[in-house]
């Protein structure tokens, strides 16, 4: 990417970070600065509005339920291309913002081949060469990038359908709808992965931070890069500490039971070791 685009992105990050705040507590790492979060939620909002208004136009059954949200049928038809246009604009800024970390590497190819292990949670940690984004996230990003171009071209052709050959309008309709269904599938997986599947991920797009445990579990190479520490070693230390704590609590509970059986408990007996 040209250095002028990088400079623009860097300046935007700096400006937004001056206005907004990201508090990184002990044991946490900065994941997404203010600018990235605002752009992401801009993309999300305009995408959801485009999707809902698009489905309302697409399906007569949904039309009844969704069009009142946008002020009726004609208003939904009027607003949909504008939502779509704003989605493409927001996504363009997200594209510039994430172009560098979204570069496809050999590690991503391996990650995609091992998707089954990821879905079934076979390993406690992601492959050690998983960087800031994993192969699945990059795939989603690139599908969106190509979809945005498709939406823009086919959307403009539909918008100005009156002055365009009929066959081109029909082809645009079909492509527009197919791409919408593909991104809808990706969007459902994305929401699941960003919330329920990986606890701690959602806060990266709200507070901007993640815990160190989250980082060494899901993105070990990024963890090593930003902390200079070995993710596997830190994971093993944390596991040992957790096991020792568990044992100490068990021993305390056993001790407590024995004392309770021997004599009625007094206030001083109920303290933790
Ligand atoms: C509305 C519900 C959404 C939620 C809860 C959500 C959540 C998140 C979170 C937590 C991340 C950060 C992941 C990380 O740091 O590893 C993220 C990244 C991302 N989001 Fe969203 N997002 C939503 C909607 C969208 C929409 C509508 C789009 C685009 C159409 C989108 C595009 C992206 C992309 C491209 C990334 C980077 C790659 C990835 O993590 O998959 N998101 N999202």
Tell me the per-residue pLDDT of 185-194, one tens digit each, with 9 for 90 and over: 999 999 999 9
Is any ligand 1 atom within 6 A of the Cβ of residue 203? Answer: no
Q: Does 4 have pLDDT greater than 80?
A: no
Say if ligand 1 is within 6 A of residue 43 CB.
yes
Question: Mean pLDDT in the chain?
Answer: 93
Cβ(150) – ligand 1 distance below 6 Å: no
Q: Is the pLDDT of residue 212 over 80?
A: yes
Ligand 1: atom nearest CA of 219 is 16
Q: pLDDT tens digits, residue range 149-192?
A: 999 999 999 999 999 999 999 999 999 999 999 999 999 999 99
198 close to ligand 1 (CB < 6 Angstrom): no
Task: Report which protein residue has its CA nearest ligand 1's atom 10.
Answer: 202
Q: Which residues partner with 211 through β-bridges?
A: 28
187 lines ligand 1 (CB under 6 A): yes
* pLDDT given for residue 11 in this prediction: 86
- CA separation for the pair 53, 66 (Å, rounded): 7
pTM value?
0.89
- 26-61 pLDDT, tens digit per residue, is 999 999 999 999 999 999 999 999 999 999 999 888
218 pocket-lining for ligand 1 (C-beta < 6 Å): no
pLDDT at 2 over 80: no
- Ligand 1, atom nearest to 186 Cα: 30
CA of residue 190 to ligand 1 center, whole Å = 6
Tell me if 44 CB under 6 Å of ligand 1. yes
């Amino acid at each position: 990417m040209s250095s002028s685009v990088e400079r623009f992105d860097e300046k935007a990050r700096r400006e937004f970070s001056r206005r907004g705040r990201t508090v990184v507590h002990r044991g946490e790492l900065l994941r997404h600065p203010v600018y990235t979060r605002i752009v992401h939620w801009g993309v999300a909002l305009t995408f959801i509005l485009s999707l809902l208004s698009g489905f309302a136009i697409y399906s007569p059954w949904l039309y009844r339920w969704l069009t009142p949200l946008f002020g009726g049928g004609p208003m939904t038809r009027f607003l949909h291309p504008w939502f779509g246009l704003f989605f493409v604009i927001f996504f363009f800024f997200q594209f510039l913002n994430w172009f560098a970390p979204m570069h496809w590497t050999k590690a991503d190819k391996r990650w995609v081949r091992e998707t089954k292990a990821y879905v079934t949670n076979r390993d406690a940690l992601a492959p050690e060469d998983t960087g800031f984004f994993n192969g699945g996230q990059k795939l989603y990003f690139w599908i969106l990038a190509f979809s945005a171009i498709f939406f823009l071209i086919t959307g403009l052709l539909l918008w100005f359908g009156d002055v365009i050959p009929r066959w081109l309008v029909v082809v645009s309709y079909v492509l527009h709808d197919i791409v919408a269904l593909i991104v809808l599938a990706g969007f459902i997986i994305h929401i699941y992965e960003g919330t329920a599947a990986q606890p701690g991920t959602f806060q990266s797009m709200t507070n901007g931070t993640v815990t160190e445990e989250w980082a060494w579990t899901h993105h070990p190479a990024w963890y090593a890069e930003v902390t200079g520490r070995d993710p596997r070693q830190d994971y093993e230390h944390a596991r040992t500490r957790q096991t020792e704590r568990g044992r100490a609590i068990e021993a305390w509970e056993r001790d407590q039971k024995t004392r309770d059986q021997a004599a009625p408990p007094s206030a001083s007996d109920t303290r933790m070791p």
